[in-house]
Amino acid sequence: MLRLLSSACLIGLMVGAGPVMAQKPAAPPAAPPAPAAASRPERPAPPTRDPNTPGYVTARELPDSANAPANGDGNFIIGPTHTPAPEMSAQEGVPQGTVLEFTMNSADSKVYPGIARETNTFGATDPTDPGKLVVTTSRPAPYTRRVAVYVPRQYVPGTIAPFIVGADGPDRGLFTALDNLIAEHRLPVMIAISIGNGGGDAQGSERGLEYDTLSGRYAEFVEKEVLPLVEAQSHVKLTRDPEGRATMGGSSGGSCALIMAWYHPELYHRVLTYSGTYVNQQWPYNSETPHGAWEFHEHLIPNSPPRPLRIWMEVGDRDLLNPNVMNDHMHDWVVANEDMAKVLAARGYHYQFVFARNAGHTDRAVKQQTLPEALEYVWQDYPIAGARN
């Protein structure tokens, strides 16, 4: 079931884990209490990490408020001040693209019919394996998701266009950046497809199933169920060339962006991630990739022939650290992204890693500062004038 919602005003990007639900005080002894549902413990504030810590990658420290060069591979340190890039605000005289929004219903999906984890529940560590989470409160559940499609004013109807797919949408900031960068001929004329998730977060949720599963499933869902609707509803033609296709996201949406390109490099060659969840968060458990996205830097990238990917990554100095009941030493977002940079360099990938001082998880100020540069980096070497097949 599709419901057209043409709209010029969209909500901002929402990524990362939701707020922690604290357990309520026990009922008075006069009344027998109901069985208590397991709830997530309060998360301590993550410590500030030093980018020059032994074991971290060697990185170039940039002047405060500066961005990494849009054509430079390697590791960079930015901050502590994060000044919004001018391209993140609407500029007078710049043509603004149009945005079409529609909803997708789980009842119409053959790939994701829908699950949800019961409210205020999480899971328990397997007593025989600290790296395995047992979730017994996930059930089939319906969902709807919103999809927003940005079409730049410069798009010529009937032509084949490159595009970028973003997670946890809609993402108004991305659309504004594209308006300005396309007008300045710093990016090709491209479509942006911002896909909402199916709800919840982490193990046992629909969002977690979509974004944290190491397989080609989500990319196949996008290819088979989302892109045909985008073309039909927005009257655009999308390239089949993987050089003209990019993925992006933050937190689990970031790991999803890499998962899409890793398992389907014939579909995507360009990846952009903020605070990528390259940690042990996959559920259901898979013996082939038992440590979830931690496997990227632990085994998959080091032990596989390099794929034709260009990757931009960011992590904050106060990014997440072990925000759940697992004590498996595979839930440090800073270490995970540092290790990603290490293995990408060792395998000769074109990548840029940005370590942001004075920044938390999927930090909005950092995105406001860096997104234009990140987009230029990811799309470098792609022809600016026109689209190609």
> pLDDT digit string (tens) for 351-384?
999 999 999 999 999 999 999 999 999 999 999 9
CB-based burial label for 142 (10 Å; 0-12, 13-18, 19+): middle
Please state, in angstroms and rounded to a whole number, the distance separating the CA atoms of residues 344 and 313: 11
8 Å CB contact between 351 and 341: yes
Measure the CA angle with vertex 349, ends 344 and 351; round to 5°.
80
Report the pLDDT averaged over residues 201-209.
Answer: 96
8 Å CB contact between 352 and 377: yes
Strand partners, 99: 150
Identify which of 116, 133, 118 has the alpha carbon closest to the alpha carbon of residue 39. Answer: 118
Q: Which residue has the higher pLDDT, 80 or 22?
A: 80
Residue 22 lies inside a defined structural domain of this protein: no
8 Å CB contact between 205 and 290: no
Residue 142 lies inside a defined structural domain of this protein: yes
Residue 8 lies inside a defined structural domain of this protein: no
pLDDT digits 0-9 by tens, 221-236:
999 999 999 999 999 9
H/E stretch holding 123 reads none
| Structure token digits, residue 63 | 């002047």
14 has a pLDDT exceeding 50: no
Report the pLDDT averaged over residues 144-156.
Answer: 98
Query: Can you give the pLDDT at residue 42?
Result: 64
Query: Can you give the pLDDT at residue 385?
Result: 72
Following DSSP, what letter does each residue of 22-82 receive, concatenated? PPPPPPPTTSPPPPPPP-PPPPPPPPPPPTT-TTSPP-EEPPTT----TT--EEEEE-S--
Long-range contacts (CB closer than 8 Å, 24 or more residues apart) made by 85-90: 85/177, 85/368, 85/369, 85/370, 85/371, 85/372, 85/373, 86/180, 87/176, 87/177, 87/180, 87/181, 87/184, 87/371, 87/372, 88/173, 88/176, 88/177, 88/368, 88/371, 88/372, 89/176, 90/176, 90/179
Query: Can you give the pLDDT at residue 5?
Result: 37
Residue 36 lies inside a defined structural domain of this protein: no
Please state, in angstroms and rounded to a whole number, the distance separating the CA atoms of residues 71 and 149: 28
Please state, in angstroms and rounded to a whole number, the distance separating the CA atoms of residues 165 and 112: 18
The strand ranges marked E within the chain are 3-4, 60-61, 74-78, 98-105, 115-117, 124-126, 129-134, 138-140, 144-151, 160-161, 163-167, 191-195, 237-238, 245-250, 270-274, 310-316, 350-356
DSSP, res 306? P
Number of folded domains in the chain?
A: 1
Identify which of 326, 375, 370, 336 has the alpha carbon closest to the alpha carbon of residue 134. Answer: 326
Residue 192 lies inside a defined structural domain of this protein: yes
pLDDT digits 0-9 by tens, 90-145:
999 999 999 999 999 999 999 999 999 999 999 999 999 989 999 999 999 999 99
Residue 237 lies inside a defined structural domain of this protein: yes
Residues recorded for the chain: 389
Domain, as residue range, for 106: 46-379
Please state, in angstroms and rounded to a whole number, the distance separating the CA atoms of residues 130 and 119: 24
pLDDT digits 0-9 by tens, 261-307:
999 999 999 999 999 999 999 999 999 999 999 999 999 999 999 99
Please state, in angstroms and rounded to a whole number, the distance separating the CA atoms of residues 61 and 34: 55
Residue 386 lies inside a defined structural domain of this protein: no
Residue 30 lies inside a defined structural domain of this protein: no
Which CATH number is 253's domain given? 3.40.50.1820
